[in-house]
Amino acid sequence: DSVERGEYRHYMQKEIFEQPRAVADTLEGRIGPHGILPNIFGIDADPILEKTRAIHIVACGTSYHAGMVAKYWIEQFARIPVVVEVASEYRYRDVVVPENTLFVAVSQSGETADTLAAMRESRRRGYLATFAICNVPESSVVRESDLRLMTRAGPEIGVASTKAFTTQLTAFALLALDLGRRRGLDGAKYLEHCKELQSLPRYIENALKIEPEILRIADHFINKQHALFLGRGAQFPVALEGSLKLKEISYIHAEAYPAGELKHGPLALVDENMPIVAVAPNGPLLDKLKSNLQEVRARGGELIVFADERAEMDDGTEHVAMVRVDGGGDLIAPAVFTIPLQLLAYHVAVQRGTDVDQPRNLAKSVTVE
Ligand code: G6P
């Protein structure tokens, strides 16, 4: 056990630090000088992806959050409408399936009972085809799907998913760009984004270097009972994933909100006992986010901000901590900003003395309903 963990104290920490490699492996042999290589989704993929006019993404837990990020990308690049739903809801709902809709199942294990049942149910619902994004080649989800793209995270032992998530984002970015190319995404933009995606391992490597800063911030959470995570756009699901990590392993109640929704409820909770973690990448929504943060600060909330290196944050907003992250371009920023949130949850849990790799009441793979 300690041999496998090497220098790391927990599997989760090891898996967080394996992400540059896991993402690089997931990209390996999938992008060439002219973009995404043919047949990476299977030899039957071409006619199906050409015909796809809508997408339904179904998953549980962390995999569901990856699907939520994908919705932003696919709609932006390919202008194809995407619905994302948790499998336990999808399977019992009377879903409307438009013509030529692709069903996408996302699962690290490929054995999650609800996801598998949803996929089987989808067979009766008249989809164009089923597509799996999965980390285990011999799993049921992969065996039963028409098309697939394997993540190559390697075995994930920690119950709280880390490298599975960033490799799922990588797989979805490939799918979104491929669909974009088929549906009118500008050729130069497409190639630029392919390059950007190839740089993701480097940006993750760099983001991991902020661990010492995170250690100091984690101190701050030890005696807290609640935390709020904020993000906007494709960083909203990243905030959701950050809050899930914190609750899973540190047992602190955490919620995530799209920052613009703050004024419609959660602002009432904000006081000095509520740390607020905000993800602030550089982009068109930055100014909006900054005014959301001022609303928090005005109510005495303690702000911990993960801001892009290029984001101008010196607007007088006080904060408990501001950590700078080089998020790269728009496409990869959600994966890059996931890193500090994983590290934060990890170090808070370590300091609170929980069983990080085996949190109470949770299982790595939930194979019964
Ligand atoms: C469990 C795990 C989570 C995981 C979820 C979905 O709840 O604890 O980490 O995200 O199942 O698992 P899957 O294998 O389908 O991605």
Q: For residues 247 and 254, what is the distance between their CA atoms, to the nearest angstrom?
A: 6
Tokens linked to 236: 């909203």
Output the CA 161–ligand 1 centroid distance in Å. Answer: 7
Q: Which among 205, 210, 232, 228 is positioned nearest to 346, based on CA atoms? A: 210
- Tens digit of pLDDT per residue, the chain (369 long)? 666 888 999 999 999 999 999 999 999 999 999 999 999 999 999 999 999 999 999 999 999 999 999 999 999 999 999 999 999 999 999 999 999 999 999 999 999 999 999 999 999 999 999 999 999 999 999 999 999 999 999 999 999 999 999 999 999 999 999 999 999 999 999 999 999 999 999 999 999 999 999 999 999 899 999 999 999 999 999 999 999 999 999 999 999 999 999 999 998 999 888 999 999 888 888 888 888 888 888 888 889 999 999 888 865 566 778 889 999 999 999 999 999 999 999 999 999 999 999 999 999 999 988
Q: Hunting for tokens 């019992």 — which residue is that?
A: 92
> 132-165 burial, b for 16+ CB within 10 Å, e for fewer?
bbbbbeebbbbebbbbbbbbbbeebbbbbbbbbb
Cα–ligand 1 centroid distance for 142 (angstroms): 16
What's the N-to-C CA distance of the chain in angstroms?
A: 30
Ligand 1 in contact with 139 (CB < 6 A)?
A: no
Judge if the beta carbon of residue 107 lies within 6 A of ligand 1.
Answer: yes
Number of the ligand 1 atom closest to the C-alpha atom of 60: 6
Pocket test for ligand 1, best of 119, 145, 240, 364 (most atoms within 8 A of CB): 364
* Residue entry with tokens 């032992």: 157
Model pLDDT, residue 360: 93
SS (H, E, C) the chain: CHHHHCCCCCHHHHHHHCHHHHHHHHHCCCEECCEECCCCCCCCHHHHHHHCCEEEEEECHHHHHHHHHHHHHHHHHHCCCEEEEEHHHHCCCCCCCCCCEEEEEEECCCCCHHHHHHHHHHCCCCCCEEEEEECCCCCHHHHCCCEEEECCCCCCCCCCCCHHHHHHHHHHHHHHHHHHHHCCCCHHHHHHHHHHHHCHHHHHHHHHHHHHHHHHHHHCCCCCCEEEEEECCCHHHHHHHHHHHHHHHHCCEEEEEEHHHHHHCHHHHCCCCCEEEEEECCCCCHHHHHHHHHHHHHCCCEEEEEEECCCCCCCCCCCCEEEEECCCCCCCHHHHHHHHHHHHHHHHHHHHCCCCCCCCCCCCCCCCC
Ligand 1 and 115: CB distance under 6 A: yes
The whole-angstrom separation of Cα 369 and Cα 186 is 44
Distance 202 CA to ligand 1 centre (A): 26
Can you give the pLDDT at residue 315? Answer: 56
Q: Does the Cβ of 62 fall within 6 Å of ligand 1?
A: yes
Reported ipTM? 0.98
| Model pLDDT, residue 334 | 98
Assess whether 364 carries a catalytic annotation: yes
